[in-house]
Amino acid sequence: MSGPDGKPRVLRIALLGCGSVGTQVARLLQEQATDLSLRAGARLELAGIAVRRPSHPRPGVDPSLLTADAMSLATRPDVDIVVEVIGGIEPARSLLLAAMKTGKSVVTANKALLAEQGEEIHAVSRAFGTDLYYEASVAGAIPLLRPLRESLAGDTVRRVLGIVNGTTNFILDRMDTSGADFGESLEEAQALGYAEPDPTADVEGFDAAAKAAILAGLAFHTRVTAADVHREGITEVTAADIASAKVLGRIVKLLAICERSGDGVAVRVHPAMIPRSHPLAAVGGAYNAVFVEAQSAGRLMFYGAGAGGTPTASAVLGDVVAVARNRLAGTRGPDLSTYAELPVLPMGDTLTRYHVSLDVDDRPGVLAPVAEAFARHGVSIQAVRQTSRGEEALLIIVTHVARDAALAATVSELQAFPVVRAVASVMRVEGEEDPS
Amino acid sequence: MSGPDGKPRVLRIALLGCGSVGTQVARLLQEQATDLSLRAGARLELAGIAVRRPSHPRPGVDPSLLTADAMSLATRPDVDIVVEVIGGIEPARSLLLAAMKTGKSVVTANKALLAEQGEEIHAVSRAFGTDLYYEASVAGAIPLLRPLRESLAGDTVRRVLGIVNGTTNFILDRMDTSGADFGESLEEAQALGYAEPDPTADVEGFDAAAKAAILAGLAFHTRVTAADVHREGITEVTAADIASAKVLGRIVKLLAICERSGDGVAVRVHPAMIPRSHPLAAVGGAYNAVFVEAQSAGRLMFYGAGAGGTPTASAVLGDVVAVARNRLAGTRGPDLSTYAELPVLPMGDTLTRYHVSLDVDDRPGVLAPVAEAFARHGVSIQAVRQTSRGEEALLIIVTHVARDAALAATVSELQAFPVVRAVASVMRVEGEEDPS
């Protein structure tokens, strides 16, 4: 492994963060050293690991590599590649900006940073001619960003539809199989380590929304940030919703949906009912899967482990080999392409279908005014199912495709109806043709 | 779109072949011209199309672009990128070698050429510093080679298991759903255009074997040719095999299997029974799907349209944009990596499970000598099912994991048994844990 001058080629890596992903990156850099060097074209040497508490013992990690001074490590002249697996905005943002300004190639798994400050960090990457790779930021080990950015560069992506958060998928899976409610299923996920003690980022959809922003940006060659994503989490999903979906041959999943729609793009994350026959319905537990519909390629699906230290480390190391090859060749990977500059449409303009559950008085004459309210807002009803429960009845209405704003207006009108005791839930229906 | 000298940047493309894929490539180059130029960084201009009969009218294709002189077109000084969609070894081989020797970047969908003459064309690509991209050669529109070559460059692939031939998948699907035999299902596939008038390349497994060789080479960083692949087609699959699989909760698929095994790699294409619960079991019609098992990433699946003019053109154009970007940046993509140089193991050393159907005399005392024959060769039996059919009985034996050579020796011994009227079929069982 030597360069044109006969000297052995070495690229030195600074690892920022040593949690579940960082530990595996450090281990694999060591264990797979020979293979990685033969694939990259240079020996990949770990120059240092920045952690909060360097005195904390870490089995398998050489303590002399540990430092608390992340900034010095990220900008050290002998470092070629900076791998960031800290997560969150700061200090990750400052560290990566400084690293790129001192000419380092950057590999990161940081979805929040890319979705919230993507414009700034891509601009610095471009200005300083350094690589910025982030395959691990979305869907863990699943190769997804490289296919979108490169394999589909000659195609027009119409739609990306995916399950990109394993924690919520695990919880919804439990609710579906056991009939448990959200709270019980969350507790179970926490006990098994699938959910964090503070589960907000997952269950409120923030994690999925950041990933949706990244996917939409790549798919549509447009700048999309986390703030552009309409976001609803799963905390309001009830056991009754899950049961009703079941009766209708559907299952509830938290979906990230990125669509070309009219003259713009729509990006949203929310729970939705999909048919049990849909390939995404079978994606269980902590797995991720993403459908991509492109004009020429048709429907593609990518499936695999969406999180976890080792799978995510696989994606990080794939990027490390790629930036190493680029660095040795004196080049860099393709820039983020945002030339299309499509507007991000407001959620109200989204066209989709709805499953509305109403608690109504159980007496004749209830359906007519409810149906009229839908009609007044131009929302066409596809199916109605009424179940008596004593004095009260459960009225379930599934609509044809409608504008989100029209549905919202309908629901708000229904809430004021005397016969409607409560709007128990409103959930979107995705992944199936609208029967006419 | 201008270069550093202010001149407009243009890259000129020679298209060799204008069949179902070529026609779509030509159409999309025109229809998507603006998007492609913004993604590639240069206007992509069609310089000419080589066809056998230039006088033949082709709707939508400018006749002035057509030429019968493929060699002149492929080596013309004003051509930058050569796209080959002729297929087969010659003249494709000579044209691509000449194109690379005159500095053109090459994009090809030619699996046979890569699987049979891969070493030569990769060597010329390396020697002349030109790009050689071939995503479209395996599994049509599904991004598969780029993920294997780049996304998994930091991982160790253990196994690739896939359905990579749509024609045979369609035929086996028909046999499974209708109970028809191979001949009838082939005729139906031919009538619908899913099978060629001469179906040999598909039904005898040559097409899948070429793809398996390409996949194994990339997955294991080892030189693998079509001749290294153990190949069995689907012409011997009977309606009885399909029915027996069904009874056992399995389905018959033509699989391409590439495995790390001991100190080498094993690459094979043959029909096999897989559980109906396996994700590949649900891959119907002309679709393709490939499972990749890697040490860190775990199990990944890629799914989509495996053939067809437009999907394959999507993969070709993705490569065209990639080689255009490389050309403008004065660089080239990663070389084929074959450093591992693992030996390709003989089929006899393969370890897998078997489903053996025997027509035997229907009388007591038949099973004992049959079971003894398996035991003598060290093949352990997992399950036996005997069905009486008058004078004769059908004896179905499913084995535990065994060496292929041991199974073959067992079968050859059984054929000489007086009580065994015929060995009706031998099929491998894949995609499930061996129950102990």
Report in angstroms the alpha-carbon separations of A368 from A361, A364, A374, A423: 13, 9, 10, 17
**A317 touches B: beta carbon within 8 Å:** yes
d(CA B326, CA B104): 12
A315: nearest CA partner in chain B: B151
CATH number for position B106: 3.40.50.720
Quickly tell me which residue has 């005729």 as its tokens: B187
Which of A36, A153, A300 is closest, CB to CB, to B303? A300
CB-nearest to B151 from A135, A154, A308 is: A135
**Nearest by CB: B153 against A39, A297, A310:** A39
pLDDT at B150: 93
Residues A164, A299 within the same domain: yes
Considering the domain architecture, whether residues B133 and B152 belong to the same structural domain is answered as no
Instruction: Please state, in angstroms and rounded to a whole number, the distance separating the CA atoms of residues B206 and B213.
Output: 11
A6 falls in which pLDDT band (50, 70, 90)? low
CA distance B175 to chain A (A): 22
**Portion of chain B with pLDDT greater than 90, in percent:** 86
Long-range contacts of A341-345 (CB under 8 A, 24+ apart): A341/A222, A341/A223, A342/A220, A342/A221, A342/A222, A342/A260, A342/A263, A342/A264, A342/A265, A343/A263, A343/A264, A343/A265, A344/A222, A344/A224, A344/A228, A344/A264, A344/A265, A344/A266, A344/A267, A345/A261, A345/A262, A345/A264, A345/A265, A345/A266
Q: Same domain for A108 and A164? A: no
Does the pLDDT of residue B262 top 90, yes or no? no
Percent of chain A with pLDDT over 70: 98
Is it the case that residue A341 has pLDDT exceeding 70? Answer: yes
> In 3D, which of A47, A49, A45 has the Cα closest to residue A16?
A49
Q: What is the dihedral of CA A356, A359, A365, A370, to 10 degrees?
A: -30
The half-sphere exposure of A427 on its side-chain side, counting CA atoms within 13 A, is: 28
Chain B residues close to A322, C-beta within 8 Å: 150, 153
Which of A1 and A44 is assigned the larger pLDDT?
A44
Q: How far apart are CA B14 and CA B23, in angstroms?
A: 13
Q: Across all residues in chain B, what is the average pLDDT? A: 94
pLDDT, tens digit (0-9, with 9 covering 90-100), for A197-238 = 999 999 999 999 999 999 999 999 999 999 999 999 999 999
B151 touches chain A (CB under 8 A): yes
The answer to whether residue A278 scores a pLDDT higher than 90 is: no
| CB-closest option in B297, B298, B311 to A297 | B311
Are residues B161 and B265 both part of a single domain? Answer: yes
Report yes or no on B191 lying in a domain.
yes
Q: How many CA atoms lie within 13 A of B51 on its CB side?
A: 21
Task: Establish if A291 belongs to a structural domain.
Answer: yes
Q: Are A409 and A377 in contact (CB under 8 A)?
A: yes
Give chain B's domain count.
3
Are A143 and B151 within 8 A, CB to CB?
yes
Give contacts of B322 with chain A, Cβ < 8 Å.
150, 153
- Domain assignment of residue B163, given as a range: 148-305
Distance from CA of A297 to the nearest CA of B (A): 4
A154 touches chain B (CB under 8 A): yes
Residues A282 and A172 in one domain: yes
Chain B CB contacts of A298 under 8 Å are 141, 304-305, 308, 310-311
Going by pLDDT thresholds of 50, 70 and 90, the confidence category of residue B143 is very high
Q: What residues of chain A, 190 to 209, have a C-beta less than 8 Å from chain B? A: none
Residues B92, B420: Cα–Cα separation, whole Å: 50
Interface check for B336 against chain A (CB to CB < 8 A): the answer is: no
Contact B47, B76 (CB under 8 A): yes
How large is the average pLDDT for residues B180-195? 94
First to last CA, chain B: 64
Determine, for residues B153 and A311 on separate chains, whether the beta-carbon distance falls below 8 Å.
no
Give the up-direction half-sphere exposure of residue B341: CA atoms within 13 A in the CB hemisphere: 2
Q: Which of residues 279-298 of A touch B (CB under 8 A)?
A: 279, 282, 294, 296-298
pLDDT recorded at residue A1: 59
Report if residue A351 sits inside a domain. Answer: yes
* Selection from A279, A285, A155, A170 nearest residue A221 by Cα: A155
Question: What is the rounded distance in angstroms from the CA atom of residue B211 to the CA atom of residue B219?
Answer: 12
Cβ contact (<8 Å) for A38 and B318?
no
CA distances to A64, A132, B383, B394 from B388, rounded to whole Å, are: 73, 67, 17, 6
Contact A300 B304 (CB under 8 A): yes
Residue B78 forms contact with A (CB below 8 Å):
no
Closest chain A residue to the Cα of B325, Cα to Cα: A334
Q: Which chain A residues contact residue B325 at CB under 8 A? A: 334
A contacts of B336 (beta carbons < 8 Å): none
Least trusted range by pLDDT, from A43-47, A159-163, A212-216, B278-282: B278-282
In a 10 Å sphere around its CB, with 0-12 CB exposed, 13-18 middle and 19+ buried, how is residue A367 labelled? Answer: middle
In chain A, residues with a C-beta closer than 8 Å to the C-beta of B317 are 153-155, 296
Q: A302 and A359: one domain?
A: no
pLDDT number for residue B307: 85
Cβ contacts of A11 on chain B, cutoff 8 Å: none
pLDDT computed for residue B346 by the predictor:
93
* Of residues B233, B241, B232, the one with CA closest to residue B180: B241
- In this prediction, residue A59 carries a pLDDT of 82
C-alpha to C-alpha distance for B156 and B265, rounded to whole angstroms:
13
Of B158, B96, B146, the residue nearest B123 (C-alpha): B96
Residues B419 and B395 both lie in one domain: yes
Extract the tokens encoding B397: 């034996």
Residue B119 lies in a domain: yes
Which of A25, A29, A150 to mutate against chain B (most B CBs within 10 Å)? A150
Type of residue numbered A350: T
| Residues of B that are catalytic | 211
pLDDT band for position B22 (cuts 50, 70, 90)? very high
- Of the candidates B133, B112, B66, the one whose C-alpha atom is nearest the C-alpha of residue B209 is B112
Residue A131 is assigned to a structural domain of this protein: yes
Percent share of chain A, pLDDT over 90 = 86
The pLDDT score that the predictor gives to residue A7 is 64
**Active-site residue, from A101, A104, A111, A211:** A211
Indicate whether A181 pLDDT > 80: yes
* Banded model confidence at residue B98, pLDDT cuts 50, 70, 90: very high
- Asked if residue A366 and residue A225 are part of one domain, the reply reads no
Predicted TM-score of the model (pTM): 0.94
Residues of A in contact with B320 (CB under 8 A): 154
Question: Does residue B388 have a pLDDT over 70?
Answer: yes
Contact across the interface for B141 and A24, Cβ inside 8 Å:
no
Contacts of A16 (CB under 8 A, 6+ apart): A22, A49, A50, A70, A73, A74, A82, A83, A84, A85, A86, A92, A95
State how far residue B219 is from chain A, nearest Cα, in angstroms: 12
Using CB atoms, which residue from A279, A314, A339 is nearest to B155? A314
Q: Is residue B126 a part of any domain in this protein?
A: yes
- Regarding whether A109 and A222 lie in a shared domain, the answer is no
Confidence check: pLDDT of B267 > 90:
yes
pLDDT of residue A286: 79
Strands B264-275 and B230-231: parallel
- Asked if A138 is an interface residue toward chain B (Cβ–Cβ < 8 A), one would say no
Same domain, A317 and A412: no
B338: closest CA of chain A, how far (Å): 9
- Does residue A320 share a domain with residue A286? no
Nearest CA in chain A to B309: A296
**Interchain proximity A318–B152, CB inside 8 Å:** yes
Q: Which residues of B touch A334 (CB under 8 A)?
A: 325
Tens digits of per-residue pLDDT, B218-230?
Answer: 999 999 999 999 9
Residue B351 is assigned to a structural domain of this protein = yes
Chain A nearest-CA distance from B430, in A, is: 20
The CATH number of the domain where A219 resides is what? 3.30.360.10
Same domain, residue pair B278 and B194: yes
Residue A167 belongs to a domain: yes
